[in-house]
Structure 1
Amino acid sequence: MANIVADTQIHGHSIKGEREERRKGTKELCSIVRLFLPLLPFLLSSLSSFSQDTKAKELYAQSIKLFGERKADEAIPYMEQAIKQDPNFTDAYLKLGQLYEFTKRYDPALAVYRNAIKLQPDSPASGAAYQSLSTTLLRLGRYGEALPYLEKYQTMFAPQSAQAKRIARQIETARFAQEAIQHPQAVDPKPLSSILQTTPSQYFPVLTADEQTLVFTALKPEGDEDLMTATFNGETWSPPTSLASNINTPENEGTASLSADGRTIVFTACQGRKGFGSCDLYASHKTGSDWSTPENLGPAINTRYYESQPALSADGRQLYFVSDRPGGKGRRDIWRSDLTTTGDWNEPVNLGEPINTPFNEASPFIHPNGQSLFFASEGHIGMGGYDLFVADNCASGWSSPTNLGYPINTSEDQASLFVSANGTRAYYSYEEQKDGVSQKSRLYTFDLPESLRERIKPVSYLKGIVTDAKTKKPLAANLELIDLKTNQVVSRVQTDSQTGQYTAVLPSGGEYALYVSQPGYLFKSLSFDFTQKTKGDAMSLTVPLEPALAGTSANETLNNLFFETGRYDLADKSKTELDHLSTFLQANPTFKVEISGHTDDKGDAAINLALSQKRAQAVVAYLAKAGVEASRIKAVGYGKTRPLVPNTTDENRRLNRRIDWKLL
């Protein structure tokens, strides 16, 4: 999985700058230019004091002059001749190695660095050669070769010096990488689909929870980057199309993030839109098939500094992103903001340690389980450059990040990863190379290895349509998922107001109530017990809401009321359901309701009838205590006389043991 496409914003370059660089040449070549140019003033001004040969000095100076004119290939022969003229010309070896490296000729570069070291292996004057040689070997993934040079180089500095500490990190990287390569992860990346390859490069894929809608950044022949989308029908992907004409512009759009239902997108733009700083985050919302005009996320999120690489939570109510604003732990950190009930973003909070480091973090992705954070970092020990890590949001805070291992991580930069809701698949982009130069980037997928699947708590998702039970027309409605153990809201989503479609993520490992509501309708409660669930499964459900009209025969089941067998005491986890019913009745003070208890056919009929009555009365008592007038609520026990389904199986009997409510 080497050479995942580099995020244009990881290295501090605007999207426009990325486009202009591509017009001049390949992205990789420009990256080398940016690394090498800081040395240029030194190269142009310093003739080596190690050569006493006038001809060698002249050849050296001519080579430096040609490189200053961007003629690296022409500069190399002059530097080679300088070394032939004076074989002890240490500085010429170093500069020739840099020229070879600049032109992607790594083996010759390594050879001349080694020759420079051989001239004075124990002298601090060879320090630059040690540094260049070991850094190049690390970048090429040749860790075993780099280690002895690093260890020798480290002895040239005081143990607590900044340089010694920097070399110690490189030594730690080499040893970590050697160990990782000896214990590789079982991954087998495969191209996502050739149908998607309609532009020179595609990268940064994000998907909906059902993995049927894909959004990615596409680099077009003219250098423009746009957001593209495609759909999966279960077998093949559709040809990609522009996400929306009011999102894509002649400027560049990129690094998008989708909510689980695919109806909210946040993306980065650095030019062409009125913003607060160098790069800002924008959001758009989908209704039917139309995306709204993108809006800047505002001054809480965007500042005069750099904001990019957004990651939305599944319900779109939490946002992770990267910024270099003041108050961070390093240069670029990961921050988080929560959406308020009024639709505004709270002041972002830095994730702090152990996520952020004094170096750069990038490309966060929060898994739909809301706990597993994937991100790239050059600060945590890995295999060199940016590696991918995962950390978990626990009750005590964030866990220490775990390196995803080899070959997910390599000596090259790994930019980002998207992991499916059920935790079985990952999506990313891979840069195909020729002679060390990136040619194109393609979308890939692979099955997550078992060691990582065990780490990631999978989630299920429920999708479908909310309709009017009478007219069958789609409804705008609110869906609220609540943890029955804590009575805390896990997520809130809304249906598409035109289509009634919804997608709600259902976490594993607990009991949850899902409430579907809309003013003017009876709310519907659904119950999900995932306490024994170990993998995420998809469910599809059409939810009809009954109009709130008195005197109709419509009734709803309170699916999240819990009683012990043969008893009528309400379990504590019934509070969520009863509070929702109480809220509904207090919001509609003219409504009167009947609370009816029902049992299955097991046991004595008279006992069942009495039990059903007492259970209904327990509900009425709770509602009255909550402030609902007793005259508005009536308890009736029907025992086994009104089954929903035949009492022929244990599951059917479970369905028949229930509490219903209806308007009178």
Structure 2
Amino acid sequence: MLVLGNPKNKQINIPMKTKILLILCLFASVAQAQFVTNNKRVADVYFQNKEYYAAAEYYKKALQISADSVGFIVPYGFENKIKEESPKKDDYEYCVFQLAEALRLYKNFIDAEKWYAMAKDFTNPKYILSTFWYAETQRSNQKFEDAIASFNTFLEKYNVKDGYAAKARTEIASCQFALNELRYPRLFRLSRLQNNINDKGSNYTPTIKGGNFYFTSSRPIGSSGKKEVLSDKNVKVAKKETPFINAVYVATGNPLTESISIRKTAVDGAAKESAAPAFHPNGKIAYVTSWTALGNKKIYQLNATPGVGKDWSEPIELGGQINVKGFNAMQPFVTRDGKYLVFSSDRPGGSGKYDLWYAPIRTDGSLGLAVNMGKVINTPDDEEAPYYNVSTKKLLYSSNGRVGMGGFDFFESEGDFGKWTEPRNLGYPFNSSKDDLYFTPLDNADSEGYISSDRESVCCLEIFHVKREFLVIQGILLDCHTRKPLQDATVTLADSAQQFKFTTDENGQYTFKINSNRGFKLTAEKEKYFSKNISFSYDQLAQKDTLFSPELCLIPYEIDKPIVLKDVLYEFNKADLTEDSKGKLDYLYTIMVDNPTIEIELSSHTDSKGGEAYNMDLSERRAKSCVDYLIGKGIPKNRMTSKGYGKTRPIAPNEFPNGKDNPAGRALNRRTEFKVTKK
């Protein structure tokens, strides 16, 4: 007999069928309760399988369950009521930290920042990295000054000698770089594609072939999604649908229009998941990244798919020279001349995590041994998504191991697979505080194309159209004396990151086209002329698309030929420079700064009035006062000598032929000169 309590404490006889039904309901209730109390464990299983979105949802459920219904879970806001050694506190802190981790790993940095803000205050040392990741999410959310403060806090309390301290210092430099980039943005125009290319899931690796737009997407595939069971030894997780499969798609038409036809391609064959197609210029081979299983791990490998147009054969795995067992190879790129396959891999022999490698493509289509692109390009972190222009010899790729805006940034280097220049960050807004990868061009100059970025998303990469804009600087270089054009002079334009040189034509003209308006210096040089520098600030350039500088002229000179410094005057009968004269000497100061290798003699002369010894002494003191003034402004003493000539070197008559005084002539003789003694 089953006995149940009732308000009057009487026994009630229940028929057997009813008993069985009640027992089943009770078991169902217990089973349901057990499933709810396992939210933390369910979340852990999803997390271990890198299903971070699902993991985050279950960590949220665990944190929202009341303390009365589940013994080991504490709801948000109850932390102050828990004793230090309480197991409730341990599980609560664990779920908060894991929730922050899951949110960060599926790139929801806005919500991740909120949970790291809580986790960073936990005293348990196993959560000490919370402060580091809190700073990272602040940086991703463009709170650069706050991120700098948080990284410094992390460095103050983190004493472990590993990569996190070095990474924190790099991130501080990146935040400072980003603040400067936001203040002085580069000349790029970006726009997110507004059509169905950017559908659900991630959309990335844009590639153009034969007028068609290929890209990778993890958008839902209705019937191809398979049910999976995730579990561990402690808990069985409910079956999950996995409709988000990475696959290669092709869009027919202009990707910049609002509506476009999209279909899944056969370029990846029967592969469960694949991405990042790269087409050989002969159009007969496509190289594709495919996912393969190695035990419980997912491994990326490169396959080659023969075929033409829609008729693609089944992909063929590339050999061991590309795919090293147990390691990843991904993101292929084929140079326009068909000579090299460039890719990213974490195989042995690199500088760190993912490095860029290249393999020669032989005339028969076979591949040679892969070669690492070297430490100028690769860092201890990740280098991915290579693109190389054989015409300009410029390599464009993404790295998260250098100072930049944050996440993966685009960098540019020049070289020919043997030697590379130091990579240059392409700056904001080409780069953002999140991940920016996969450039593909629309023209041979790489001035327009597509990139992938999650800058406007809370989780996923999207495809953007990008176009470089340019500031044009034009001018004519003249001889300051004759006003005639100077041909074959060198004009150099330099900013903080790069410089360009131009040789003037027969009309003295020069033209520059640059992708920056953040301020620069223009330097004009020609043999037997003083070089000249002109600087332009960001404020002068910010609202312009063309800058004309027609009045740039150079002053000629000859070694040991004196040049008069006009209107350099002194106090009466003294060697002291007048204030106006100091301004005139600044002209010579500028020449000395613009021409840092020349050495000069600075001399002073008097007229015929007064005794010879007196005039010699006065002129010596006046010449020295000029040199002292320039030394005071920072010109090195060893580049200048002073000399007084008194009245020994007149350049005009002090008297007329009839013996009368010539005031105009004497005025010319009272002068200060300089001459170049060494180039």
State the TM-score, normalized to the length of structure 1. Answer: 0.50
- Greater relative contact order (CA < 8 Å, ≥ 6 in sequence): 1
Structure exhibiting the larger radius of gyration computed from Cα positions = 2
